Structure 1
Amino acid sequence: MNEQESAPVSQEPEGREPVFLLPLSITALAGVLIAIHLASTLVLNPDGQVDLLFWFAFQPYRIVVAGVDPSIAIPLIWTPFTHALLHAGWEHLLINVAWLAIFATPVVRRYGAGPMLFLFLISAFAGAALFAATTLYSQVYLIGASGGVAGLTGAAIRFMFQPVLMARDAETGEPVVLGRRLASLREVFVNPRSRFFTLIWLALNAAVPLVPLLTGSALSIAWQAHLGGFAAGFLLVPLFERKS
């Protein structure tokens, strides 16, 4: 990242506070997720909701049956991404929107809206890929933004726990904020705060498959999408660092 990082410039007239504290791109993405869920629950009848899942949720089993009927596999072109726009219920949606607001915000402020959206989509794809690798024959659907949000979480961890770098202006001697440097993979695990957060996050998601065995509950959480998305954001975020 360029060591001379400028502070965000407010577009609001002087003396006025912005209505929304979130960046516009995050507000827009959250609005799209909410609008889609509203439409699916209030406008579509049960048959329409089934069709919505068929055409826009990700189902790995399509890969298996593609040899028998190739037309069934056509939605695989877009469903690794569009599954991130659908949710199973309001609780599912609101948890993902809250997590999006928390971890997408530092990514947008550092890199901008375009890189944030790219990381969200490519992480959703990576989450779908790991989900497919572990559920290929189960005929289950994957929906939810959690893979994309997990990718933004992985990206943010690379810098949000690092110390703020300071310097002094050569002419005035005033302190200048340089920003936070992107941590290397090693530095993430050397820093106590980023190491603790990362290991706890990975451990909790890796333990999800054990919950039904220990409690007898029918817990349905796509931990594969979380882990795949997190890895994508964690590893790909250096692509958006500005060169010195």
Structure 2
Amino acid sequence: MFIPLHDTNPLLHVKRPYVNWALIAITIIIFVVFQAQAGLLGGVGLPASFGVIPSVLFETRALPPDLVVIPADWTLVSYAFFHGGWMHLIGNMLFLWVFGDNIEDALGHIKYLLFYLLCAAGGGYAHAIFNANSEAPLIGASGAVAGVVAAYLILHPKVKVWILALGRIPLRLSALWVLGAWILMQIYNLFAAADSEVAWWAHIGGLICGAALVLLLKRREVPLFDRELDTP
């Protein structure tokens, strides 16, 4: 629908968003080294070992012993660091690059890491609940990124964001329109595209977690809805 490029939203509380940078770097390194076709170690069994498989998570199925690397509960976090392809990876990391730094700024380094991992877990669990019998592994940072989107919309709806609409038309719009449209599209696709391979419930779960957690974890001095933003 659109590609985020840049937001006009300076950091006020941290000098550098080290955690956001680290999350992006780790996710890219994992894909390049372990998953990409040109990767050093390939990645055939990794989605099954580190992805959320609902039937395995709820113990109605069992993985072959040679694929068991970590406990099933841990996959609610590990799945967010693996992706199904370059476009899947780039799309999630672009959203994280543009919007994640300001959430880290509002929460602080440690709380932002906790926020990201909990949003990933919430997204993975929501997907598992509504696909309880599925044997297909869920991978991707979309649940965690959806949490970041929800938090950004609550904190900074008035901030202007540069996007490429339809992949080619540069526009500068408020985050309310950009991210609000993205959220509405997730809800619409949940019902209209239920048979697609996209895990829409993971997005919804991440959105709900992000909206709730940002209220609990943000710094006290950080206002909601850009109440202190000086706009013409």
TM-score, normalised via structure 1 length:
0.68
Shift of residue 25, structure 1, vs aligned partner: 2.1
Give the secondary structure class of the aligned counterpart of 2:151.
Answer: helix
Q: C-alpha deviations, 1:136-174, integer Å up to 9, x for none?
A: 1121111001100111111111111259xxxxxxxxxxx
Map 1:146-157 onto structure 2 (within 5 A).
146-157=142-153
Equivalent residue number for residue 138 of structure 1 = 134
Deviation at 1:50, TM superposition (A): 3.2
Partner of 1:178: none
1:226 Cα deviation after fit:
0.7
Report what 1:205 is aligned to.
Answer: 186
> Structure 1: how far apart are the matches of 2:14 and 2:100?
18
Q: Tell me the percent identity.
A: 28
- Work out which of the two has the higher radius of gyration on C-alpha atoms and give 1 or 2: 1
2:41: which partner in 1?
Answer: 44
Q: Deviations over 1:83-120 (max 9, x none)?
A: 00000011110111000011111111222221221111
Which one is further off, 79-88 or 50-59? 50-59
Q: Answer yes or no: is the 8 Å Cα contact 2:53–2:134 preserved in 1.
A: no
Which structure shows the higher helix fraction?
1
Residues 23 and 105, structure 1, Cα contact 8 Å, conserved in 2: yes
1:18-54 Cα offsets, whole Å, 9 max, x none, are xxxx722222211101100011121224xxx233222
Q: Which amino acid aligns with 1:228?
A: G
Cα gap change, 1:121 to 1:68, in 2 (>3 Å): closer
Q: Secondary structure at the match of 1:136?
A: coil
Whether the 8 Å CA contact 1:63–1:73 is kept in 2: the answer is no
Question: What is the CA deviation profile of residues 174-232 of structure 1, one whole-angstrom value per residue up to 9, with x for unaligned ones?
Answer: xxxxxxxxxxxxxxxxxxx676556523321122245558xxxx742111111100110
**8 A contact 1:127–1:227 mirrored in 2:** yes
In structure 2, runs of 5+ residues without a counterpart are: 1-10, 160-173, 222-232
Residue 225 of structure 1 pairs with residue 202 of structure 2: yes
Secondary structure of 2:205 counterpart: helix
1:113-133 CA-partner distances (Å, limit 9, x unpaired): 212211111011111111011
Tell me what 2:120 maps to.
124
Q: Which amino acid aligns with 1:223?
A: W
1:158 aligned partner:
154
Counterparts of 1:210 and 1:228, CA distance in 2: 15
How far apart are the structure 2 equivalents of 1:205 and 1:24?
29
Structure 1 runs of 4+ aligned residues shifted over 3 Å read 6-10, 63-69, 71-74, 193-199, 209-213, 241-244
Q: Do 1:80 and 1:128's aligned partners in 2 also have CA atoms closer than 8 Å?
A: yes
Change in 2 beyond 3 A, CA 1:7/1:37: closer
- Summarize the alignment of residues 2-41 of structure 1 with structure 2, pairs less than 5 Å apart: 7-8=12-13, 23-40=17-34, 41=36
Structural RMSD (CA): 2.9
Letter in 2 for 1:57: G
Gaps of 5+ in 1: 1-5, 11-21, 164-192
